[in-house]
Amino acid sequence: MTLKATLAGGLAALALMAGMAAAGPVKVGMITTLSGGGAGLGIDVRDGFALALKLAGEAGSAVTLIVEDDQQKPDIAVQIADKMIQSDQVDVLTGIIWSNLAMAVVPSAVAQGRFYLSPNAGPSALAGAGCDKNYFNVAWQNDNLHEAAGAYANSAGYKNSFMLAPNYPAGTDAIAGYKRFYEGAAAGEVYTQLGQTDYAAEIAQIRASGADSVFFFLPGGMGIAFMKQYAQSGVGIPLVGPAFSFDQNILQAVGDAALGVRNTSQWSKDLDNAANAAFVAAYQAEYGRLPSLYSSQGYDTANLLLSAMAKAEVSDQDGFRAALEAADFASVRGDFRFGPNHHPIQDIHVREVVKEGDIYTNKVIGIALEDHGDAYAAECRM
Amino acid sequence: MMLLAEQLLNGLQYGMMLFLMAAGLTLVFGVMGLINLAHGALYMVGAFACAAVAAATGSFWAGLAASLGAAAAAGALVEVLVIRRLYARDHLDQVLATFALILVFSEGTRWLFGSFPLYLSLPPLLSGAVSLPGGLVYPAFRLAIIVIGAAVAIGLFWLIGRTRLGLRIRAGEADREMIAALGVDIGRLYTLVFALGAGLAGLAGALVGAVQSVQVGMGEPVLILAFVTIVIGGIGSIKGALVGALLVGMTDTLGKALLPGLFARFMEASAAGSVGGALASVLIYLLMALVLIWRPQGLYGGAS
């Protein structure tokens, strides 16, 4: 295992070293969720990010990383951001998981001349009219995986979908995204409370709706609760969803109930490219668990940062921004580039939940959308 | 029609789960005059004990027994070490100290089990759905929660109304100096009542953990509802806790199920969802306000 880890680390470091200038130090403030029901997501982003820095060796040690827990509360996230900008003097902010927190922090951070690299949240407001030259999203625009789920629903022949999402910016983006590509009818459209854990009332509505498929977006603990209750309810209408409800950590808590469910993701642990193979092996060696979608996004965010540091000093804002726009790094998801609004253009895959030994995980079974950008880019004026 | 029947059952199940939480809380508040914010932490302890024991032994039933035992033991320990010093203090001190207990339990659990949610699988007997008379299909486990809740309610009524221990609990509620003077070991009585309440909270945590998820911080949202329940029912009354829990469960479930549909008749689905959802989530507080205007001491609270 150690040999493998060293090899993998060496490979990744070599890949980064190629064409590297001596990078000046960069101070990064990471605001993420490390406690409460959404803690798993933030921990994975942090661990993925830290792993990339570690594997980069000397280039990685030029990054000073400050991590703080936002407790999934917008007011706390704003306080931390103010502290990081004013007293810690960070150059780059990153880490936020939840769209409502991103909306509270990002506009003011970029207005104060900091870079913000989003490893997760991608609310539509920041992709369209509210875009900013210093804001980059390394994961996806919120709608993307849902759009892919809509495209997949068409190809699977679904004609009457029941849609379920929590009532917050990413939830409304989710259903908007699904409906943008899905061509069938709506059997129902329900918004639940953020953080809700009992879905008995919604499942009863699904049962009575006569739908032929259920699209749902419920990240973190909400998804676990829904999937378990859905499996026990005996409803049995096929589920479709984005990868958030089927990430590596959730699947272990859901168990058999998730087997066979199709979900859409820009990343999967079995994507066949060298950067991904090195990442998955190194992550397992370092943390003793499989990486999740969120880990991959944290890892890519750090590698994007390192690639820009290799080309320009962060004090040279225009040069650094151009280096970020070039996205000159090997993403673990394969092909990756930024669109005009600094949001990804990438392939989105369809995965199926399978069991490998005792571990529940995902396997890529096809592609939902190729070279997919987002619907808001045209509204963005930088 | 079928939908309404299923939602009524959902409301009943939710109410029974709340009752398990509220019963312990109302006993502790009524008998000892203690505001115990850490009741939610004991609920979490029960869920984690059940998940850990079920994972180790492979038996959900062993886990369920462990949840009762572990939460009751944790409750007794906390009572002896911390709570005992708070009876004579005012409510603010109690709130501060028991809030500190929440933090201690949360961080302790995170330290032991990590931040990721745990998996608790159901026994084959209770997984899946059963067909009820009239063609209604309902999850077996939710039915089991209703049955367990009802059994606990009957057991508690018997315990409080028909046994010597119950007599002492009622006497302690009425006049603690007098029963101490009559030679009842009031310290031991308090520990017992506290452990009983904690055990019920732990049982609720284990039952809910099996349908939702077992994670740090799961107790606090339920705690707020449990407080609403006992305020509506009348503090100190088991009967009040039962009626209050069923009222809150029904109001919350039916509100969530029916209001968005009602609003969707005259506005867009996402707007109806958010307006209906928002109104549904304040509905129980509205209920509480109305009850308090009508009966400030709660439905079954003694006049004081």
The CATH number assigned to the domain holding A80 equals 3.40.50.2300
Reply yes or no on whether the pLDDT at A267 is more than 70.
Answer: yes
Tell me, what's the pLDDT at B136? 85
pLDDT in tens, B101-146: 999 999 899 889 887 778 787 888 888 888 888 788 899 999 999 9
C-alpha span between A319 and B87 (Å, rounded) = 66
Residues of A in contact with B118 (CB under 8 A): 253
Tell me, what's the pLDDT at A20? 46
- Greater model confidence, A263 or A1: A263
Out of A221, A225, A253, name the one closest to residue B119 (CB). Answer: A253
Average pLDDT along chain A: 89
Nearest-neighbour CA in chain A from B119: distance (Å) = 4
State whether A206 and A108 are in the same domain. no
Answer yes or no: do A167 and B274 touch at CB < 8 A.
yes
Chain position carrying tokens 């060796």: A57
CA distances from A156 to A11, A106, A370 (A): 40, 38, 17
Answer yes or no: do A232 and B129 touch at CB < 8 A.
yes
Q: pLDDT-based confidence at A18, cuts 50/70/90?
A: very low
pLDDT in tens, A348-382: 999 999 998 888 999 999 999 999 999 899 999 88
Are B200 and B58 spatial neighbours (Cβ–Cβ below 8 Å)? no
Whether the CB of A191 is below 8 Å from some CB of chain B: the reply is yes
Least confident piece of the model among A2-16, A21-35, B88-102: A2-16
pLDDT in tens, B286-300: 999 999 999 988 898
The amino acid present at A195, given as its one-letter code, is G
Out of B6, B140, B213, name the one closest to residue A224 (CB). Answer: B213
CA distances from B272 to A99, B257, B260 (A): 21, 12, 5
C-alpha span between B165 and A169 (Å, rounded) = 54
Q: Which residues of A138-152 are buried (b: 16+ CB within 10 A; e: fewer)?
A: bbbbbbbbbbbbbbb
- Is the dihedral angle over the CA atoms A220, A223, A226, A232 positive or is it negative? negative
Q: pLDDT-based confidence at A1, cuts 50/70/90?
A: very low
State whether A119 and A215 are in the same domain. no
State whether A136 and A278 are in the same domain. yes
CA-wise closest residue to A205 among B146, B58, B269: B269
State whether A64 and A113 are in the same domain. yes
Out of B129, B217, B273, name the one closest to residue A37 (CB). Answer: B217
Mean pLDDT on A201-210: 89
State whether A115 and A133 are in the same domain. yes
CA distances from B259 to A22, A299, B91, B270, B281 (A): 61, 43, 37, 13, 10
**The total number of structural domains that make up chain A:** 2
Tell me, what's the pLDDT at B177? 83
State whether A38 and A122 are in the same domain. yes
Please give the structure tokens belonging to residue A199. 């879905």
Tell me, what's the pLDDT at A117? 96
Tell me, what's the pLDDT at B300? 87
Residues of A in contact with B122 (CB under 8 A): 232
Out of A43, A167, A201, name the one closest to residue B10 (CB). Answer: A201
Tell me, what's the pLDDT at A9? 53
State whether A181 and A222 are in the same domain. yes
State whether A166 and A202 are in the same domain. yes
Domains in chain B, CATH or no CATH each? 7-120+139-294 (1.10.3470)
Answer yes or no: do A249 and B116 touch at CB < 8 A.
yes
Spans in chain B with pLDDT lower than 50: 304
Out of B2, B14, B273, name the one closest to residue A198 (CB). Answer: B14
Whether the CB of A221 is below 8 Å from some CB of chain B: the reply is yes
Tell me, what's the pLDDT at B110? 87
Maximum distance among all alpha carbons in chain A? 63
Pick the residue from chain B with its C-alpha nearest to A44.
Answer: B116
Pick the residue from chain B with its C-alpha nearest to A252.
Answer: B119
State whether A357 and A226 are in the same domain. yes
C-alpha span between B273 and B256 (Å, rounded) = 9
State whether A24 and A121 are in the same domain. yes
State whether A300 and A172 are in the same domain. no
State whether A152 and A172 are in the same domain. yes
* Host domain of residue A195: 144-265+348-379
Q: In what side-by-side order are the strands of the sheet with A26-32?
A: A63-69, A26-32, A92-94, A115-118, A135-137
Answer yes or no: do A40 and B116 touch at CB < 8 A.
yes
> Can you list the positions of beta strands (E) in B77-147?
129-132, 136-139
Give the CA angle between residues A313, A314, A319 to the nearest 5°. Answer: 70
